[in-house]
Amino acid sequence: MGAPRFLFYAVNGLGLGHVTRLLSIARALKRLSPEAEVLFLTSSEADHVIYREGFAAVKLPSKTIRERCGLRKGSYLKLVQTVTWNTLAAFDPDVLVVDTYPTGSFEELIPALRWRQKNVFVFREQREESAGSELLQASLRLYDRILIPHEDISVVGPLPELAKARAVGPILIRERSELPSRAQARQALGLPQDATLLYASFGGGGDPEGARALTLTAQVARELPGVRLVVGAGPLWREQPPALEGAVVLQGRYPAIDFLPAFDAAVTAAGYNAVHELLYAGVPSVFVPFERMVDDQEKRAREVAAADAGLVCAPLTREGLTRAVRELMNPATRERLSAAARKRVECNGAEPAARALLELLA
């Protein structure tokens, strides 16, 4: 057998969660098996981050781009199906790895899941109505391995074949040994070593709710003496973030975990990657859950708050955010939250996930 081939299917919506999780596994896979061939198939408009991490990608237009550029739904569906099937046929992977949507964005994976390759599904916790749907449950039977990026298999709900599932823990794109120190991160960003820095970010940049959240955070930060706001403008921002007087804007830097140790505190959305990266880096944070069709951000934020590993602001109001951020500025609160955060996410599940892929070929 020659070098094993792995195809990662990463269809992203408003953020970079799927891409980042699969990049995390791909990086660990290349460390364990340097000869492996890896290819991504993605509709993310931030596909350049895949190349920056050292991988090639076949790019599909996103649903957002389809709407803005006037592609008819029928034309788009045929394009997605044809490119997906042709990519699978031409690359002929030994393992296909799919995140969040087991049938694909338009159910285009259903016939291909019966082809010769092994199939692996990364099953992040979803809303009960999504995880328990008949289509999702039926499609799970077409997978050879189901990776749960949590500590407990039970968080994803019922599984038709429990023996196929493996909980690997939170999957992150960097190992702890790769994280810079506080001083190194601040130097790399050109930020003062002695300032109190508050980080704010609300997803990859494709979410219209983010503009309002950033505006409110900037208003709150201006009322805090000695606090400097630093905004992470994700790779999907197509326009400059809203006017943020006095804030430092980090444009297009990815992944965020590379510079998170620079900050004393953070206010962010409660997406999977944002929450786990901040906990892993031990940054005391206020989490603002956004409404999502599949991802239950409010549940995630409440669980973190219940573990005393972070604060939650829901619903997002000026008064509620002011109260939460002022609490976060208390040094004793930050110290307590930071310790609990690191304890909640102690290890990176990327390497166990990569080992599970290689085991399928043993």
Read off the pLDDT of residues 85-101 as tens digits, 9 standing for 90 and up. Answer: 999 999 999 999 999 88
Instruction: Note whether 57 and 147 are same-domain residues.
Output: yes
Q: What was the pLDDT predicted at 46? A: 78
Angle, vertex CA 10, rays to CA 114 and CA 241, nearest 5: 160
- Amino acid identity, position 74: G
Instruction: Note whether 205 and 320 are same-domain residues.
Output: yes
Mean pLDDT of 134-163: 95
Tell me, rounded to whole angstroms, the distance of Cα 178 from its chain centroid: 18
Q: Which of 16-20, 40-44, 109-113, 207-211 is the least confident region?
A: 207-211
List the domain range (segments joined by +) for residue 290: 176-344
Instruction: Note whether 190 and 230 are same-domain residues.
Output: yes
CA-based torsion, 47, 177, 28, 157: positive or negative: negative
> Which residues are bridge partners to 87 per DSSP?
none
Output 323 or 236, whichever has higher pLDDT.
323
Q: What was the pLDDT predicted at 95? A: 98
CATH code where residue 213 lies: 3.40.50.2000
pLDDT at 14 over 80: no
Q: What was the pLDDT predicted at 1? A: 60
Q: State the average pLDDT for the chain.
A: 92
**Crossing angle, helix 17-32 and helix 272-281, to 10 degrees?**
60
Query: φ, ψ for residue 265 (rounded to 5)?
Result: -165, 170
Instruction: Note whether 162 and 278 are same-domain residues.
Output: no
Cα–Cα distance, 241 to 234 (Å, whole number)? 9
Q: What was the pLDDT predicted at 240? A: 61
Cα–Cα distance, 88 to 333 (Å, whole number)? 51
CA-based torsion, 282, 285, 290, 296: positive or negative: positive
Instruction: Note whether 209 and 160 are same-domain residues.
Output: no
Which residue, 67, 43, 98, is CA-closest to 236?
43
pLDDT at 113 over 60: yes
Read off the pLDDT of residues 185-239 as tens digits, 9 standing for 90 and up. Answer: 999 999 999 999 999 998 755 566 778 888 899 999 999 999 999 999 866 665 6
Joined tokens for residue 37: 């061939």
Joined tokens for residue 15: 């953020």
Q: What was the pLDDT predicted at 242? A: 63
174 falls in which pLDDT band (50, 70, 90)?
A: very high
Greatest Cα-to-Cα distance within the chain, rounded to the nearest angstrom: 63
**Do residues 84 and 112 touch, judged by C-beta distance below 8 A?**
yes
Of the chain, the end-to-end C-alpha distance in Å amounts to: 11
Residue 50 burial class via C-beta count within 10 angstroms: exposed 0-12, middle 13-18, buried 19 and up: buried
Output 320 or 15, whichever has higher pLDDT.
320
Query: How many independent structural domains does the chain possess?
Result: 2
Output 285 or 234, whichever has higher pLDDT.
285
Instruction: Note whether 23 and 126 are same-domain residues.
Output: yes
pLDDT at 336 over 60: yes
Instruction: Note whether 167 and 201 are same-domain residues.
Output: no
